[in-house]
């Protein structure tokens, strides 16, 4: 039996020696969280992750939103957007293509996680850097809350820190707007007014003020809005870019000075590009032509002399694309336009002509603004995207002033925008209503395809009339045997009426939130 | 047979032995002693045959009691044994036969020995965790099949060959694509809400399920109950143990097996031809209320499409007929060499498997090699070395041919192509169908011109073990088993641009354009390389001894395993010449395809097993593992997983023998044990950050990457534990005429690792740990195997049927209290399908007006039940369970086999029941709910199966099988309904084979031992409720690679 002991001990020794084989996990593709706060450079990396919020999708989301409104039409009849605007599908608490609840709260959490980490682990960072980093993230948090507020009537849940595992109730709209204003005020106080060229694209004081002006417009806090514009103007940094067309054809790498840009998002080929032209461009470019401008928009582009265009005017109707204001030629591809070295043909039967079914235009037009005429590989767009530009700020100012009854200040802001567009004669108005309708038309034209229209119509209370029971129109152009063109206005909604019930003005709280958060209740109109 | 001739043959055989031995010597420098045992003086020659049919028996072990010399019979049943004296006592043993203990007189005539078949199969060896055991002593629920059974099926992917053969193993083969046609395997159904994959052990080491030549497989066994506790934290989902063949003590025996197989689709629906397409499309538009002038096809076009188009714009193309070949060949060639002496044994195998797909340019080629070598170096020191190598390559077109869910796959393009167009224009350029929203389509061009996607993997696997019998202590052994595996995979995918002459329906014009994927007409290449290596070491002590009637068997084993991998990838675009596609020749580096990384994983554990039996009658086993998992934090990392089982061989009791003498053997057994499961993502208990792969912002002119918070950690995460109970019975009756094996089980899994995003409101923004230990699932079921074998004259036959059933139930899960009862997952089986309940079609406007609706609804669409009675159909309130899981609850197999003289045949029926297939609903790979080509006419503006439009609702055909004929997609929520749930039950003639072995007398001159030719087939007949589709198809798909029916012709030669 001694042998047994001897061998067993030997064997046990051998086996125990394997215990030194560690099974402690090694980090191979992620870092310990301490690296995030170990220095300014790494904190900058954490800040980078918020920037896609202001523009990585380029204008794709915006043109889709303009298609929910009356500016653009999706060319494929069964496109999700068409199904909704024509009532084939409806917004419900379970399904809402314009819902951003989960998206929003995921970003709110990221913002709060960053702010929490900064407070607890970033104490050693230099004060100036600390303040700027905090200011940037406060800006992002305010922006996400603003996007939520836009959709849910500012009746949303507020989190100023990480959640504690208890579902919170909805806050009142006033509380939400106060929260957004406070974040932006603090951001504006902590952010630098300017950044060096090497930091172009970073959030600045002006961006925080501009966003505040925009948000306060939605809050109908006219004074707060115009005050924010005034503070922005007091920085003396911003002005309109002289050429509307050239404004939308800039690349970051070209480094042109652009005082109109308050907050922009740049791209750089080949590794940081977008495919906007690929999905929306005309077919002979190689594009998918998913979307086309409506005649509803096109007819709003005035004649160059400042008079209105009208199909009832025989001179206009005979040559509808002659003598329009410059923004028309910068924004719309029409039959006869020169584009990428060809003369664009949208007449019935031509390769890029009017047709119903998708793959070509269903309105007789293609977009031009936002496309890059020099682009050959349509998947590699790199034009600068504007999150906020000074023209919008001026239109915000005009509206806020008009609402406060300050007609001349409102008109001055409006006319600044129109002068840049090439108009020589200033507009005038004798009452608030008149001025507001001028501003509304100007927003439609100046900010076309930038994603404002749908939300503007909702906040003006006009969506239920403009987007309900109506039909968008297009132009069907037929070429006669002698080459003569006949223009026929057609219903691009194929005889179906658009549907926008009043309750769409405030989207329903998503079902998942209602089911899992005992402290929340659905809005009355959605019960 | 004349004795003289016999002797001569035998010498001939010996000379051959030497030749083979010498050639092997050159190979492995080990053969100097191979021929040693053939040195002889006086010899006893004999032949062993089956007592009933007189067939020679190979692998019979003959032991001379006095000298303790051992030999074995060769393939012709012959043996030769050196003897002293003229009377010897021999013990003849062979697996599956009753042993014979006999005294014979040595003469100059070979002696014939007859062995009776032992139908009780009690001495069959069962592979268990870290060892093997006699079947009679087994107390756990373990199913096993021998590699020989695989020979009755056409050669294919090993996992799909297991379907229905092992009771308790639940399988599903959802693709027929070469190289991807394996079956998913699960043991006893769902066990957890998380990962349900069983542990795979190949030759004692955790490895991927082997892509090996089935001829190399000795046995496959499945540990279904607490017997898997020896694998601790990896055992909860069951364990599949695969062992490869070993060399036998016999003269070198060379076997060649070759076969040629042809495969065809099992089922694929017929799609519309040109004339039917325009007819039904226009009819659909008419029903949709589209004015005649606005319809897609005008009268003239209908005429030209239906009766031929003199202008040449239209044609009539059956894209599927062009896509599929009529049949696809598979060629298999295998060579094995098996032999050895009393000290050395070797099994050498090489094989080639070359499979072409039913779709051109899809293929799978595999080359295998293996050397399994065993040596008794000293009387008490054994060495065993296994070396295996595999090289396989899978190819498909650049645009994938697999599941049609992927963007622009060949299948998706075939479904979306218009049948009314010609395949090629007058200039020979492929014609494309412009599909609004989806771009242009041409499946044939996509198949032939889009480039290639190939995956080549190499695997090297080796085991070396040394076993030392400690002198002086009988039964004490020390063993160390080490394994080193190495693998690399090279994936190369290139996409080539090509031009199509694209027909635009809207403008009615043709225009040349690049295919949809080839933006700008640029060719691109992406290449990935991954390299992995795994090291395992298993030192162990075992002890086995008998003390009178007490028999003891013990094992203590430590295991440490470490897996490492590293990867590298690169890409380029812009190829001036596309004839040779390599990174070298691309003009522009695609920066974001240049990547590389590494990973590592290790685990360790202490396994133990103690077996005790008294008089072969009372059996007791205690086993388990003290296991560690790197997935868990230090304070929950180590735990013990114990199991105990016991058996009682009642038939060994004297009282039983007297009472029931028809029962040869009866054992009842039971087991209980705890098992674990730690399959979650890495580092769930650590706060980590990850650097995004791609830039997300341009600051100045510098691209910036994001640093993201990876997960919210759970500091107290621990493993799931399953407690499993099993009761079993094994019996043989009437001298083996009837065999019965039955098992019932109950298993409960607690602390299930699951996400909690279902529980927390979206307003938390995901700020909670990804995984928590929550949830309880139980499952219960049974397996029953009945077998019968008999011999009537020269006719031998056997029948073996098995049924298994397993049902899971969610006892507790992360489910919010506000979820209505009919939507709850709690209390129901795992994997159920949820949706609206269909209630026929709307037949009138009045009916629509008076019903609850989901959205705008037309007559002929699917009517849905308003479950909560609020007058509306809503996602959140009116969904309920509408179908069972894809995974069947019940599986069955029926094996018929027999032989008559030189003929042998087998047939295997396999089936499944209690599962459902969803034709539309939730795409499991994308999480999106939608229609499919099988449920909506002209889905995505593409083609439709004929059955769907022919039997669609129209005002003239209101008693229809399918809903309204329409071109519009808004179908009132019907796509989420029970209407599209079909019973997934099926029965197949899975395999059948007829073989003929040539009479030995014909072959003697050719010096060939055996020649067998055979014809076999698989998936020959299928009975199911899905007449147009295969019942094992993936739920909700946009076309998939159909399962294949195979006919194989083969030949086996043994020298």
Which residues does chain A have within 8 Å of residue B692's beta carbon, measured at their own beta carbons?
Answer: 49
Burial class (CB in 10 A: 0-12, 13-18, 19+), B947: middle
- Give chain B's mean pLDDT: 86
Mean pLDDT calculated for residue range B906-934: 83
pLDDT at B120: 56
Q: Do A159 and B763 touch (CB under 8 A)?
A: yes
CA trace torsion A416, A418, A423, A427 (10° rounding): -80
Flag the least confident range among B47-51, B242-246, B671-675: B47-51
Q: Which residue of B has its CA nearest to A106?
A: B765
- Could you tell me which residue, B355 or B973, shows the higher pLDDT? B355
* Residue A158 C-alpha, separation from nearest chain B C-alpha, in angstroms: 9
The 10s digit of each residue's pLDDT in A395-422 is 999 999 999 999 999 999 999 999 999 9
Q: Which two tokens mark A298?
A: 């096109």
Measured CA to CA, the distance from residue B167 to residue B742 in angstroms comes to 10
pLDDT for residue B877 is more than 80: no
Q: Do A252 and B701 touch (CB under 8 A)?
A: yes
Q: Do B472 and A3 touch (CB under 8 A)?
A: yes
pLDDT for residue B798 is more than 60: yes
pLDDT for residue B535 is more than 70: yes
Element (H, E) at A389: strand A385-389
pLDDT for residue B714 is more than 80: yes
- Give chain A's mean pLDDT: 93
pLDDT for residue B927 is more than 80: no
Rg of chain B over CA atoms, in angstroms? 32
pLDDT at B288: 82
pLDDT at B405: 47
pLDDT at B150: 82
A·B CB contacts under 8 A: 278
Q: Do A48 and B968 touch (CB under 8 A)?
A: no
Q: Which residue of B has its CA nearest to A357?
A: B506
Q: Which of B519, B762, B876 sits opposite A378 (nearest CB)?
A: B519
pLDDT bracket for residue A442 (50, 70, 90): very high
Measured CA to CA, the distance from residue A34 to residue B326 in angstroms comes to 62
pLDDT for residue A425 is more than 60: yes
Which residues does chain B have within 8 Å of residue A94's beta carbon, measured at their own beta carbons?
Answer: 874-876
Among B234, B480, B763, most A C-beta atoms within 10 A, so best to mutate, is B763
* Residue A401 C-alpha, separation from nearest chain B C-alpha, in angstroms: 35
Which residues does chain A have within 8 Å of residue B560's beta carbon, measured at their own beta carbons?
Answer: 18, 21, 23
pLDDT for residue B183 is more than 80: yes
Q: How far is CA B143 from CA B208, B240, B241, B785, in A?
A: 20, 10, 10, 10
Q: Do B694 and A271 touch (CB under 8 A)?
A: yes
Element (H, E) at B1049: strand B1044-1054
pLDDT at B1: 37
Q: Which residue of B has its CA nearest to A375?
A: B520
Measured CA to CA, the distance from residue A319 to residue A301 in angstroms comes to 14
Q: Do A4 and B683 touch (CB under 8 A)?
A: no
The 10s digit of each residue's pLDDT in B351-395 is 999 999 999 999 999 999 999 999 998 888 999 999 999 999 999
Q: Which residue of A has its CA nearest to B563?
A: A23
Q: Do B507 and A360 touch (CB under 8 A)?
A: yes
pLDDT for residue A20 is more than 60: no
* Residue B82 C-alpha, separation from nearest chain A C-alpha, in angstroms: 37
Neighbours of A406 (CB within 10 A): 19
* Residue B310 C-alpha, separation from nearest chain A C-alpha, in angstroms: 21
Among B503, B690, B698, most A C-beta atoms within 10 A, so best to mutate, is B698
Q: Do A105 and B764 touch (CB under 8 A)?
A: yes
The 10s digit of each residue's pLDDT in B285-313 is 888 877 787 788 888 999 999 998 888 88
pLDDT for residue A468 is more than 80: yes
Measured CA to CA, the distance from residue B285 to residue A494 in angstroms comes to 13
Mean pLDDT calculated for residue range B566-571: 94
ipTM attached to this prediction: 0.94
Measured CA to CA, the distance from residue B28 to residue B115 in angstroms comes to 37
Q: What angle do CA B836, B838, B843 make, to 5 degrees?
A: 135
Which residues does chain A have within 8 Å of residue B689's beta carbon, measured at their own beta carbons?
Answer: 30-33, 35-36, 46
pLDDT at A45: 96
* Residue B688 C-alpha, separation from nearest chain A C-alpha, in angstroms: 5
The 10s digit of each residue's pLDDT in A101-130 is 999 999 999 999 999 999 999 989 999 999
Mean pLDDT calculated for residue range B748-776: 88
Q: Do A266 and B599 touch (CB under 8 A)?
A: no
pLDDT at B406: 63
The 10s digit of each residue's pLDDT in B468-514 is 998 888 889 999 999 999 999 999 999 999 999 999 887 888 989 88
pLDDT bracket for residue B790 (50, 70, 90): confident
Helix, strand, coil shares of chain A, percent, nearest 5, are 45, 10, 45
Measured CA to CA, the distance from residue A316 to residue A441 in angstroms comes to 20
Q: Where would I find the H helices in A235-313? A: 244-247, 276-280, 295-298
Q: Do B437 and A44 touch (CB under 8 A)?
A: no
Mean pLDDT calculated for residue range B712-732: 91
Mean pLDDT calculated for residue range B770-784: 91
Q: Do B690 and A30 touch (CB under 8 A)?
A: yes
Q: Where would I find the H helices in B242-364? A: 274-287, 299-307, 319-323
Q: Which of A26, A360, A512 sits opposite B762 (nearest CB)?
A: A512
Q: Which residue of A has its CA nearest to B591?
A: A271
Among A75, A194, A272, most B C-beta atoms within 10 A, so best to mutate, is A272
Flag the least confident range among B120-134, B426-440, B730-744: B120-134
Q: Do B855 and A90 touch (CB under 8 A)?
A: yes
pLDDT bracket for residue B39 (50, 70, 90): very low
Q: Which of A15, A357, A512 sits opposite B558 (nearest CB)?
A: A15
Q: Which residues contact B402 (CB under 8 A, 6 or more apart)?
A: B175, B177, B180, B396, B409, B1040, B1041
pLDDT for residue B638 is more than 80: yes
pLDDT bracket for residue B123 (50, 70, 90): low
Mean pLDDT calculated for residue range B838-855: 86
Among B703, B761, B836, most A C-beta atoms within 10 A, so best to mutate, is B761
Q: Which residue of A has its CA nearest to B704?
A: A48
Among B762, B825, B878, most A C-beta atoms within 10 A, so best to mutate, is B762
pLDDT at B799: 92
Mean pLDDT calculated for residue range B689-705: 93
Which residues does chain A have within 8 Å of residue B853's beta carbon, measured at their own beta carbons?
Answer: none
pLDDT at A49: 96
pLDDT at A15: 57
Q: Which residue of A has its CA nearest to B856?
A: A88
Among A3, A6, A8, A11, most B C-beta atoms within 10 A, so best to mutate, is A11
Q: Do A33 and B682 touch (CB under 8 A)?
A: no
Q: Report phi then psi at A78, rounded to 5.
A: -95, 15
Which residues does chain A have within 8 Å of residue B591's beta carbon, measured at their own beta carbons?
Answer: 270-271
pLDDT at B25: 38
Which residues does chain A have within 8 Å of residue B696's beta carbon, measured at their own beta carbons?
Answer: 48-49, 51-52, 56
Mean pLDDT calculated for residue range B951-964: 91
Whose tokens are 């279902």? That residue is B758
pLDDT bracket for residue A2 (50, 70, 90): low
Q: Which of B694, B710, B763 sits opposite A105 (nearest CB)?
A: B763
Burial class (CB in 10 A: 0-12, 13-18, 19+), A77: buried
Mean pLDDT calculated for residue range A171-175: 97
* Residue A262 C-alpha, separation from nearest chain B C-alpha, in angstroms: 14
Q: Do A516 and B294 touch (CB under 8 A)?
A: no
pLDDT for residue A282 is more than 70: yes
pLDDT at A18: 52
Q: Which of B519, B597, B970 sits opposite A89 (nearest CB)?
A: B970
pLDDT at B24: 38
Among B764, B819, B929, most A C-beta atoms within 10 A, so best to mutate, is B764
Q: Which residue of A has its CA nearest to B682?
A: A25
Flag the least confident range among A268-272, B51-55, B214-218, B700-704: B51-55
The 10s digit of each residue's pLDDT in A210-233 is 999 999 999 999 999 999 999 999
Which residues does chain B have within 8 Å of residue A11's beta carbon, measured at their own beta carbons?
Answer: 478, 539, 541
Q: Do A75 and B592 touch (CB under 8 A)?
A: no
Q: Do A350 and B507 touch (CB under 8 A)?
A: yes
Which residues does chain A have within 8 Å of residue B694's beta carbon, measured at their own beta carbons?
Answer: 271
Element (H, E) at A263: strand A261-265
pLDDT for residue B36 is more than 50: no
């Amino acid at each position: 039996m001694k042998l047994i002991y001897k061998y067993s001990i030997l064997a046990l020794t051998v086996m125990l020696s394997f215990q030194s084989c560690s099974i402690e996990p090694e980090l191979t593709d992620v870092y310990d969280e301490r690296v995030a706060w170990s220095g300014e450079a790494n904190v900058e990396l954490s800040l980078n992750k918020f920037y896609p919020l202001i523009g990585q999708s380029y204008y794709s989301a915006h043109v889709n939103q303009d298609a929910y409104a009356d500016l653009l039409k999706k060319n494929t009849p069964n496109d999700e957007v068409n199904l909704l605007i024509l009532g084939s599908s409806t917004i419900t608490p379970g399904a809402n293509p314009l819902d951003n609840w989960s998206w929003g709260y995921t970003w709110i959490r990221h913002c709060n996680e960053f702010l929490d980490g900064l407070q607890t682990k970033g104490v050693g960072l230099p004060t100036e850097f600390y303040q700027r980093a905090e200011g940037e993230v406060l800006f992002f948090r305010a922006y996400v809350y603003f996007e939520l507020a836009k959709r849910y009537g500012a009746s949303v849940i507020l989190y100023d820190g990480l959640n504690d595992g208890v579902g919170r109730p909805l806050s009142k709209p006033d509380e939400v707007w106060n929260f957004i204003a406070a974040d932006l005020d603090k951001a504006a106080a902590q952010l630098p007014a300017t950044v060096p060229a090497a930091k172009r694209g970073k959030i600045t004081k002006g961006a925080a003020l501009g966003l505040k002006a925009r948000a306060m417009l939605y809050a109908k806090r006219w004074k707060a809005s115009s005050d924010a514009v005034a503070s922005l103007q007091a920085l003396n940094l911003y002005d309109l870019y002289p050429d509307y067309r050239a404004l939308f054809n800039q690349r970051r790498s070209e480094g042109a000075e652009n005082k109109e840009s308050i907050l922009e998002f740049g791209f750089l080929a080949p590794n940081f590009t977008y495919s906007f032209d690929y999905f929306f461009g005309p077919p002979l470019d190689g594009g998918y032509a998913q979307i086309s401008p409506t005649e509803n928009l096109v007819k709003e582009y005035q004649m160059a002399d400042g008079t209105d265009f009208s199909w009832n005017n025989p001179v206009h109707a005979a040559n509808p694309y002659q003598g329009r204001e410059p923004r028309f030629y910068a924004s719309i591809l029409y039959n006869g336009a020169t584009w990428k070295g060809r003369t664009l043909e949208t007449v019935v039967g031509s390769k890029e002509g009017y047709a119903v079914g998708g793959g070509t235009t269903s309105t007789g037009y293609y977009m031009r603004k936002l496309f890059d005429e020099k682009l050959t590989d349509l998947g590699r767009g790199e034009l600068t995207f504007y999150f906020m530009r000074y023209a919008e700020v001026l239109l915000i100012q005009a509206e806020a002033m008009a609402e406060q009854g300050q007609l001349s200040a409102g008109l001055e802001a409006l006319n600044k925008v129109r002068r840049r567009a090439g108009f020589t004669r200033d507009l005038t108005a004798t009452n608030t209503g008149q001025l507001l309708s001028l501003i509304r038309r100007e927003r439609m034209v100046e900010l076309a395809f930038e994603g404002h229209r749908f939300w503007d119509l909702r906040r003006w209370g006009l969506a239920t009339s403009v987007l309900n029971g109506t039909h968008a129109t297009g132009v069907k152009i037929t070429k006669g045997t002698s080459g003569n063109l006949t223009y026929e206005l057609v219903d691009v909604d194929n005889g179906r009426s658009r549907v926008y019930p009043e309750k769409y003005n405030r989207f329903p709280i998503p079902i998942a939130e209602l089911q899992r958060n005992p402290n929340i209740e659905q809005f009355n109109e959605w019960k | 047979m004349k004795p003289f001739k016999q002797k001569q043959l035998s010498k001939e055989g010996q000379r051959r032995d030497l030749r083979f031995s010498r050639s092997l010597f050159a190979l492995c420098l080990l053969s100097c002693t191979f021929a040693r045992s053939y040195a002889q003086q006086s010899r006893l020659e004999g032949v062993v045959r089956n007592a009933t049919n007189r067939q020679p028996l190979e692998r019979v072990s003959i032991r001379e009691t006095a000298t303790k010399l051992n030999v074995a019979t060769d393939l012709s049943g012959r043996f030769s044994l050196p003897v002293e004296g003229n009377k010897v006592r021999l013990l003849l043993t062979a697996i599956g036969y009753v042993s014979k203990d006999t005294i014979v007189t040595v003469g100059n005539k070979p002696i014939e020995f007859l062995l009776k078949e032992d139908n009780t199969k009690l001495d069959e060896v069962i592979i268990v965790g870290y060892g093997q055991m006699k079947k009679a002593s087994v107390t756990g629920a373990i199913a096993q099949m021998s590699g020989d059974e695989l020979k009755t099926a056409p050669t294919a992917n090993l996992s799909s060959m297991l379907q229905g053969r092992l009771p308790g193993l639940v399988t599903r083969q959802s693709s027929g694509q070469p190289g991807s046609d394996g079956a998913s395997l699960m043991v006893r159904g769902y066990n957890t809400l998380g990962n349900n994959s069983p542990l795979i052990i190949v030759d004692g080491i955790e490895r991927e399920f082997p892509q090996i030549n089935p001829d190399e497989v000795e046995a496959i066994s499945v540990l279904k109950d607490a017997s898997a506790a020896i694998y601790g934290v990896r055992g909860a989902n069951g364990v599949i143990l695969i062992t490869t063949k070993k060399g036998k003590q016999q003269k070198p025996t060379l076997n060649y097996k070759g076969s040629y197989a042809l495969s065809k689709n099992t089922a694929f629906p017929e799609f519309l031809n040109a004339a039917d397409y325009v007819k039904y499309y226009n009819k659909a538009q008419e029903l949709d209320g589209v004015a005649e002038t606005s319809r897609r096809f005008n009268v003239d076009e209908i005429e030209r499409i239906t009766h031929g188009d003199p202008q040449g714009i239209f044609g009539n193309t059956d894209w599927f007929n062009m896509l599929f070949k009529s049949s696809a060949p598979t060629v298999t060639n295998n060579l094995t060499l098996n032999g050895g002496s009393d000290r050395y044994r070797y099994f050498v195998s090489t094989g080639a498997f070359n499979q072409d797909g039913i779709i051109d340019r899809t293929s799978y080629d595999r080359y295998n090699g293996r050397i399994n070598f065993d040596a008794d170096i000293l009387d008490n020191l054994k060495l065993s070395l296994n070396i295996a190598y595999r090289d396989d390559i899978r190819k498909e077109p650049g645009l994938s041919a697999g599941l049609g869910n992927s963007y622009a796959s060949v299948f998706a393009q075939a479904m979306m192509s218009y049948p009314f167009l010609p395949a090629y224009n007058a200039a020979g350029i492929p014609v494309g169908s412009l599909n609004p929203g989806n771009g242009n389509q041409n499946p044939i061009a996509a198949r032939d011109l889009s480039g290639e996607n190939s995956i080549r993997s190499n695997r090297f696997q080796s085991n070396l073990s040394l076993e030392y019998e400690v002198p002086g202590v009988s039964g004490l052994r020390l063993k160390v088993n080490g394994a080193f595996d190495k693998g690399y995979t090279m994936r190369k995918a290139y996409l080539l641009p090509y031009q199509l002459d694209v027909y635009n329906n809207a403008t009615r014009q043709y225009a040349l354009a690049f295919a949809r994927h080839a933006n700008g007409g640029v060719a691109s290449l992406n290449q990935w390389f991954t390299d992995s290596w795994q090291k395992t070491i298993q030192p162990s002590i075992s002890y086995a001894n008998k003390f009178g009637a007490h028999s003891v068997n013990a094992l203590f084993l430590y295991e440490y395993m470490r897996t490492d991998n590293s990867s590298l990838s690169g890409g380029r675009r812009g190829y001036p010449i596309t004839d040779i596609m390599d990174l070298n020749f691309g003009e522009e580096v695609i920066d974001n395809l240049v990547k590389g990384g590494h990973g590592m994983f290790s685990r360790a554990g202490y396994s133990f097993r103690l077996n005790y039996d008294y008089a072969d009658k009372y059996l007791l086993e205690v086993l388990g593992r003290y296991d560690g998992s790197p997935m868990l934090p230090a304070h929950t990392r180590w735990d013990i997983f114990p199991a105990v089982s016991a058996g009682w061989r009642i038939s060994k009791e004297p009282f039983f023998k007297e009472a029931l003498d028809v029962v040869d053997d009866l054992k009842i057994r039971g087991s209980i044990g705890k098992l674990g499961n730690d399959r979650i993502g890495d580092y769930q208990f650590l706060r980590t950050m990850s650097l995004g792969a791609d830039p997300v912002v341009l600051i100045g002119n510098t691209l910036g990457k994001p640093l993201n918070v990876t997960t919210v950690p759970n500091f107290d995460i621990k493993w799931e534990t399953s407690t499993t109970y099993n009761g079993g019975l094994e019996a043989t009756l009437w001298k083996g005429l009837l065999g019965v094996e039955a098992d019932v089980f109950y298993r409960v899994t607690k602390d299930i690792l699951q996400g909690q995003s279902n529980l927390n409101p979206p307003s938390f923004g995901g700020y909670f740990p990804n995984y928590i230990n929550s949830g309880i699932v139980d499952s219960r079921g049974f397996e029953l195997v009945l077998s019968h074998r008999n011999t009537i004259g020269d006719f031998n036959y056997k029948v073996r049927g098995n049924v298994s059933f397993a049902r899971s139930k969610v006892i507790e899960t992360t489910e919010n209290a506000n979820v209505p009862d009919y939507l709850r997952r709690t209390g129901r089986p795992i994997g159920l399908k949820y949706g609206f309940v269909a209630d026929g079609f709307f037949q009138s406007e009045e009916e629509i007006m008076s019903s609850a609706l989901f959205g705008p609804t037309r007559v002929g669409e699917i009517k849905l039940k308003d479950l909560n009675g609020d007058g509306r159909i809503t996602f959140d309130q009116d969904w309920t369970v509408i179908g069972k899981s894809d995974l069947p609850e019940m599986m069955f197999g029926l094996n018929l086999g027999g032989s008559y003289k030189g003929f042998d045949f087998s047939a295997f029926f396999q089936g499944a029941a209690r599962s459902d297939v969803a034709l539309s609903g939730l795409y499991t790979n994308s999480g999106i709910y939608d229609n499919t080509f099988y449920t909506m006419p002209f889905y995505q503006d593409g083609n439709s199966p004929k059955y769907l439009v022919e039997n669609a609702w129209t005002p003239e055909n209101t008693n229809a099988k399918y809903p309204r004929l329409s071109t519009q997609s808004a179908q009132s929520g019907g796509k989420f309904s029970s209407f599209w749930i079909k019973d997934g039950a099926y029965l197949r003639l899975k395999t059948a084979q007829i073989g003929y072995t040539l009479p030995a007398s014909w072959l003697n001159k050719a010096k060939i031992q055996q020649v067998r030719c055979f014809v076999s087939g698989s998936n020959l007949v299928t009975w199911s409720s899905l007449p147009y589709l295969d019942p094992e198809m993936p739920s909700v798909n946009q076309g998939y690679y159909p399962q294949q029916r195979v006919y194989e012709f083969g030949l086996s030669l043994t020298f």
